Amino acid sequence: MVTIYDIAAKANVSAMTVSRVINQPERVSEKTRERVLKVMEELHYVPNGMARSLVLQESKILFLLVTDIRNPFYTTLARGAEDAAAENGFRLLFGNSDESPDKESNYVETILKTRVDGALIAPSGDASLPSLERLRKHKVPFVLLDREVPGIECDVVLGDSISGARQLVGHLAELGHRRIALVNGSLAVSSARYRQEGYREALKTFGLAYDERYVLEAGFGLEHDPAAIEAWLKRLDPLPTAIVAGNNVLALHVIRLLRARGIRVPEQVSVAGFDDFGPFAGADPFVTVAAQQAYQFGHTGMRLLIERIRARGEDRPRKRIVLPTALILRKSTAPPV
């Protein structure tokens, strides 16, 4: 490996001068600077980031941990985070917890070991508490995305789940639906709780009774077993005329399972969900959704994180940013028969 000492020897200067050429070029005479640069070129020198980080105690690398890398909500969010990082001279390391607190905990160890400058985290849920406390204890700056965790006070970017749920239920109620069900993520996830809250409020607003048989606590993850949803659908009698899904994964599961039972969407049952489907929704976007500003989640969160890092030591109040959802009407919802 080529080091600054190799450069130094060949250019007849000290290693320090080489280091200066890299970091404070103006403090080196033009003549030697050019000579050193030429040698660096010849030897194809590339600075060793680890050595640099070791002495500087900073890496200019940040970490983004999402719960499902295949979910377009998170990839779009990732693009936002990536752009904001690049705009500020940071690099991004990526992790994917698959909604599993265990995998998440592993990634937190990686974050600690690699001494990245900070982390942007979409927590798997309330069970993330120990991992986040660990980051806190080690003074790793972090910002939460999409979900907050009771017991952790920190910067966080959330979607307005309560309002989003109200929009969806309101839309369905105005179409005339009176039996509106909810298939949700685990209530150990803050967004699921808020969505359930908005759902209940909206039912009340429209004079509809809350019936817990019409509410299922499934899970947000792609890998979660849809069998629970299937069993739930099977035992519902009468069927709801509309179903609100807690996220995009659940919406697709519900539509698929309804159709598998020969139930037509939206003719017999309307379906609406949270989160949009990204650029690969298909040529014919089908599902009515309360869309979240995925890109903004990542971009805003990353900006908050970088602010935190820059204001290290200062005791700024935490920020809690809530991004609005947008109701997008498509073909999966229609008036009841």
Partner DNA sequence: TTGTATGCGTTATCAT
Partner DNA sequence: ATGATAACGCATACAA
Binding residues for a copy of itself, rule: CB under 8 A, are 1, 44, 46-51, 53-54, 57, 59, 61, 69-72, 75-76, 78-79, 82, 91-96, 109-110, 112-115, 134, 137-138, 222, 248-249, 251-252, 255-256, 259, 265, 277-287
Q: Does 328 bind DNA (CB under 7 A)?
A: no
Contact of 222 with 74, CB cutoff 8 Å: no
From the CB of 110, what's the least distance to DNA, in Å? 15
DSSP bridge partners of 143 = 120
From the CB of 254, what's the least distance to DNA, in Å? 49
Q: Identify which of 204, 103, 124, 201 has the alpha carbon closest to the alpha carbon of residue 161.
A: 201
DSSP 142-186: EEEES---TT--S-EEEE-HHHHHHHHHHHHHHHT---EEEEE--
Nearer to DNA, 9 or 263 (CB): 9
3-class secondary structure, 276: coil
From the CB of 15, what's the least distance to DNA, in Å? 5
Distance of alpha carbon 180 from alpha carbon 194, whole angstroms: 17
Partner that binds at residue 5, options a copy of itself, DNA, none, CB closer than 5 to 8 Å by kind: DNA
- Where on the phi/psi map is residue 322: left (φ > 0), alpha (ψ -120 to 50), or beta? beta
Distance of alpha carbon 95 from alpha carbon 104, whole angstroms: 8
Size of the site for DNA (CB under 7 A): 29
Distance of alpha carbon 293 from alpha carbon 325, whole angstroms: 7
Partner that binds at residue 12, options a copy of itself, DNA, none, CB closer than 5 to 8 Å by kind: DNA
Contact of 182 with 246, CB cutoff 8 Å: yes
Contact of 178 with 145, CB cutoff 8 Å: no
From the CB of 204, what's the least distance to a copy of itself, in Å? 30
Nearer to DNA, 135 or 202 (CB): 135
Nearer to a copy of itself, 198 or 226 (CB): 226
Give the burial class of 184: count Cβ atoms within 10 A of its Cβ; 0-12 exposed, 13-18 middle, 19 or more buried: buried
Q: Among residue numbers 24 through 63, which ones bind DNA (CB under 7 A)?
A: 27-29, 31-33, 45, 47-48, 51-52, 54-57
Nearer to DNA, 6 or 217 (CB): 6
Contact of 115 with 103, CB cutoff 8 Å: no
Partner that binds at residue 14, options a copy of itself, DNA, none, CB closer than 5 to 8 Å by kind: DNA
Q: Identify which of 170, 221, 165 has the alpha carbon closest to the alpha carbon of residue 193.
A: 165
Nearer to a copy of itself, 207 or 313 (CB): 313
Taken in order 77, 82, 87, 89, the sign of the CA dihedral is positive
From the CB of 52, what's the least distance to a copy of itself, in Å? 8
Q: Identify which of 251, 269, 230, 246 has the alpha carbon closest to the alpha carbon of residue 196.
A: 246
Note the residue count of the chain: 337
Q: Among residue numbers 8 through 27, which ones bind DNA (CB under 7 A)?
A: 12-17, 19-20, 22-23, 27
Nearer to a copy of itself, 137 or 235 (CB): 137
User: Under the rule (CB under 7 A), what is the footprint of DNA?
Assistant: 1, 3-5, 12-17, 19-20, 22-23, 27-29, 31-33, 45, 47-48, 51-52, 54-57
